[in-house]
Amino acid sequence: MLKACIAADQLQLLSQCRFVSPPKAFNPTRRGLASVSCCSSSSSSVSRPLSSSRAPDLSVSESIAGTSAAANGSAVVSFADRLRLGSLTEDGLSYKEKFIVRSYEVGINKTATVETIANLLQEVGCNHAQSVGFSTDGFATTLTMRKLHLIWVTARMHIEVYKYPAWGDVVEIETWCQGEGRIGTRRDWILRDFATGAVIGRATRLAFPEEDNSSLKKIPKLEDPPQYCRQGLVPRRADLDMNQHVNNVTYIGWVLESIPQEIIDTHELQKITLDYRQECQHDDVVDSLASIELGGGVEAVSELHGANGSATVTQGTQDCCQFLHFLRLSSNGLEINRGRTEWRRKPAR
């Protein structure tokens, strides 16, 4: 039923759009990647993605299709559309938008946090969908998806930040979709410093196509016992999105809660990859676990702290370090997601 209905949407829209060819290999001047899958919002149990981490992509055929409505002048231009610093590119295949980094979006170093960047990526993706004619109801769901009570859910997210923008900087983010499979979409982003045009980051919700890229690496399950643990994390009301699910950016914050303070003091996040296995509900309690990944550029030594032995990071001359992460429900240990983070030493300022 789902396949047939989706196919009907696609046939109607294919006459109005064309697909974007995936990039053959990464070039900092090229565009970047992303993927979500759809799941039922009417289920009373916790939703699971309907596809694997290599989730396919519905949104290409459906998202680009709305360009014809705009071209025919049938789309209503709102005040928000007039004020928004974003628009489709000339070829109509991608969307660009500029943002000023606000004071409440930066951390102690006066640079944007990774959560800020993830929220901007989500905003640009939603604005892109709206600009080509998608509804604002339920993060750009199609008419058929709404009839079947389906929503988009993130299956895998990968973000790389080469340079964090500072308070007052202007960031230009470009995004586009690529079709892949029957029930998913792949969305990519690339971030630039608008003043210089330099590429400062990229992101995807699927794997980058080039070989040996870190986003392609399988994330193993964290072995017990973890070296670091933060327990008792609870979703706030503000963490729920318009679909009444915990927003995927919230999981990023939870993952980072288990990073040891000595790493936070001396390093900054360079890459983060998350595999979303299961959603948590508003009344769930979450544990965030982390351990140093062997071979990740950090040496771990065992030291005693009070009555408990735990591994600590030997900093010394280490410029990079890598961690494995695991989020689970406190009540039953059920896996929510697993991740990998890579950290580099903070630049001198």
pLDDT tens digits, 277-291: 988 888 999 999 999
So what's the pLDDT on residue 181?
Answer: 61
CB 204 within 8 A of CB 32: yes
Higher pLDDT among residues 349 and 3, named by residue: 349
Higher pLDDT among residues 40 and 177, named by residue: 177
Name the residue with tokens 């980058």. 208
Q: Please return the burial class of 305, using the count of CB atoms within 10 Å of its CB with bins 0-12, 13-18 and 19+.
A: exposed
So what's the pLDDT on residue 136?
Answer: 61
Q: Looking at 39, 280, 321, 325, which residue is catalytic?
A: 280
Active-site residue flag, 5: no
Higher pLDDT among residues 165 and 297, named by residue: 165
Active-site residue flag, 39: no
Secondary structure element (H or E) that encloses residue 10, with its range: helix 2-14
Higher pLDDT among residues 52 and 187, named by residue: 187
- Model pTM? 0.73
Round to whole Å and give the CA distance between 236 and 231.
Answer: 15
Which residues, 6+ apart, have CB-to-CB distance to 49 below 8 Å?
37, 39, 55, 153, 154, 155, 276
pLDDT tens digits, 118-161: 999 999 998 898 888 776 665 667 777 778 887 777 888 999 99
Q: Looking at 5, 109, 229, 243, which residue is catalytic?
A: 243
* Token duo for residue 346: 């903070």
* Token duo for residue 108: 């102690």
* Token duo for residue 109: 């170093």
Is the pLDDT at 104 greater than 60? The verdict is: yes
Bridge partners (DSSP) listed for residue 271: 160, 342
Higher pLDDT among residues 245 and 276, named by residue: 276
Is the domain spanning 221-294+319-348 CATH 3.30.70.20? The answer is: no
Q: Please return the burial class of 8, using the count of CB atoms within 10 Å of its CB with bins 0-12, 13-18 and 19+.
A: exposed
Tell whether omega for the bond before 23 is within 30 degrees of 0, i.e. cis. Answer: no
CA distances from 244 to 41, 138, 199, 247, 262 (A): 9, 10, 34, 8, 35
Round to whole Å and give the CA distance between 253 and 258.
Answer: 10
Altogether, the residues listed in the chain come to a count of 349
Active-site residue flag, 325: no
So what's the pLDDT on residue 111?
Answer: 96
Higher pLDDT among residues 53 and 112, named by residue: 112
The radius of gyration computed from the CA coordinates of the chain, to the nearest angstrom, equals 21
Q: Looking at 128, 158, 245, 325, which residue is catalytic?
A: 245
Round to whole Å and give the CA distance between 349 and 170.
Answer: 19
Where do you find CATH 3.10.129.10 in the chain?
81-211, 221-294+319-348
CB 246 within 8 A of CB 240: yes
CB 99 within 8 A of CB 120: yes
Q: How far is CA 143 from the centre of its chain?
A: 24
Q: How far is CA 134 from the centre of its chain?
A: 20
The CA-based angle 219-220-221, given to 5 degrees, is 120
Round to whole Å and give the CA distance between 256 and 343.
Answer: 11
Q: Whose CA is closest to 22, among 209, 216, 213? A: 209
Strands 228-233, 199-204: pairing kind: unpaired
CB 290 within 8 A of CB 324: yes
So what's the pLDDT on residue 215?
Answer: 64
Name the residue with tokens 């709404």. 146
CB 96 within 8 A of CB 160: no
Among the residue ranges 128-142, 192-206, 328-342, the one predicted with the least confidence is 128-142
Is the domain spanning 81-211 CATH 2.40.240.20? The answer is: no
pLDDT tens digits, 35-94: 444 444 433 333 333 333 333 333 333 333 344 344 444 456 777 778 888 889 888 889
Residue 212: pLDDT band with limits 50, 70, 90: low
